[in-house]
Amino acid sequence: MNEEQGKRLHELVKNNQFELAELPYGFFRASKGKCGVQYYKSGKALIQGKGAREFIEFYFEPLVLQEAILGYEEEKNPEMFSAHFGIDEAGKGDFFGPLVIAGAYVDASLARRLMEKGIRDSKTVASDKKIYQLAEAVRDVVGFRHEVISISPKRYNEMYGQFRNLNRLLAWGHVKVIENLAAKVPNCPRALSDQFARADVLERELAKKKLSLKLEQRTKGESDVAVAAASILAREGFLKGMDQLSKQAGCTLPKGASAAVKEVARSLVQEKGAESLNDLVKMHFKTYQEVVGLL
C-alpha cells in the first residue's frame, strides 16, 4: 500500500474499536474478534483470521484500497489460474542447513483451493508450526503433483565445487524439479520461478534436458500461488533438514548468517574441530573462512 492507504487503514481500525499494539518491523498490529491486521514498514498489510474475508470485502477494499480485488483474482491475474509449475527454494542464504528446491503444479481449480487454504509466500509466515501446517495443506490439494529436492550441506559443498557458481547450482536444482514435475504432469505448458539469474542460465539447463515448456522468471514470483506453494514446501524441507542437522551437531543450529550463527559455528570448531562444520554448513560462505580463522 502507499502512504495514504496506510493512513486510511490506521483510521479504519482505530474507528472500529480494533485493539492496537506495536509490531516488530511494522507500524502496528490490530485485532478485533476473529480478524487480525498487521501493517509493515514495507507497505504490506497482512489480514488474517476467520473474519478476514468480511473485513476485506466490506471495509478494507472500499475504504482503504478503494477498489475491489478479493473475488476478482482470476480477472486481474488470469495467468495464475492457468496450468503451470511454480518453483522456489529455501536455505540459499543460510550458513547452516540444506538448500531445498521445491515445485508445485496448479491449474484453475487447484489455484482456487490453495488460496482458500491460505497458501502464501513462506517469508510472510513467522511460525515454523504454521509452515508445517501449510505444507500439509499444499500436499492435500496438489497430491502427487509436487516435488522437493533437498541438498544436504555435504552434497551442496561437493556440487558447488563442481559448478563454482551459486546461480548455476540453483539453475540445476530448478530444472531438476521441473524435469521431475514434467514426468508427473507431462502436458504442463510453462513453469514460473522467482528471478535469481539471467534467463539464459536456466534455459541452457532446460535445453540439456530437452524440456520444451515455457520458462518464466519474475521478481516477487511468490505472489503467484503456485510459487507460494513451492516456497512453503521448500521452507518445510529446510526446517526438517535443520532439525536433523541439529541432532547431528548436538545443539540447536540457528538460521541465517548472523553474529549468533558465527558464535555457534565457532563453538563447534572449538569443541569438535573445523572439520565438524563440513557436513553442516555451506563452505563457500565468507562466514566459513571467518569462523575457521582463514580471514
- Note the pLDDT tens digit of each residue in 44-90: 999 999 899 889 888 998 899 887 666 556 656 788 889 999 999 99
- Indicate whether 133 and 35 sit together in one domain: no
CATH of residue 86: 3.30.420.10
> For the residues 129-149, what does the mean pLDDT come to?
97
Look at 89-103, 141-155, 201-215 and tell me which has the smallest mean pLDDT. 201-215
Residue 165 has pLDDT above 80, yes or no: yes
- Indicate whether 227 and 257 sit together in one domain: no
3-state secondary structure (DSSP) of residue 104: strand
What sign does the dihedral 113-115-121-127 (CA atoms) show?
negative
Boundary of a domain, candidates 19, 40, 70: 70
- Indicate whether 224 and 280 sit together in one domain: no
User: Has residue 265 been placed in a domain?
Assistant: yes
- The 8-class DSSP code of residue 61 comes to I
Kindly report the pTM of this predicted structure: 0.78
**Whole-number Å distance between alpha carbons of 159 and 173:** 11
- Indicate whether 106 and 44 sit together in one domain: no
- Indicate whether 35 and 127 sit together in one domain: no
Higher pLDDT, 85 or 115: 85
Boundary of a domain, candidates 36, 70, 104: 70
- Indicate whether 193 and 83 sit together in one domain: yes
Residue 295 has pLDDT above 50, yes or no: no
Boundary of a domain, candidates 17, 36, 70: 70
- Indicate whether 115 and 228 sit together in one domain: yes
User: Has residue 148 been placed in a domain?
Assistant: yes
Closest CA to 35 of 53, 11, 20, 14: 53
Q: Which three cell numbers stand for residue 118?
A: 491460505
190: β partners: 214
> For the residues 266-270, what does the mean pLDDT come to?
94
**Whole-number Å distance between alpha carbons of 78 and 100:** 29
Residue 285 has pLDDT above 90, yes or no: yes
* Percent of the chain with pLDDT strictly greater than 90: 69
Contact partners, residue 113, CB within 8 Å, separation at least 6: 141
CATH of residue 46: 3.30.310.10
User: Has residue 107 been placed in a domain?
Assistant: yes
| Helix or strand run (H / E) with residue 21 | strand 19-21
- Indicate whether 173 and 30 sit together in one domain: no
Q: What's the pLDDT at 238? A: 98
Q: Are strands 19-21 and 99-106 parallel, antiparallel or unpaired?
A: unpaired
Q: If you search the block for the grid coordinates 563440513, which residue do you land on?
A: 278
Q: What's the pLDDT at 146? A: 98
User: Has residue 247 been placed in a domain?
Assistant: no
Domain that holds residue 266: 252-291
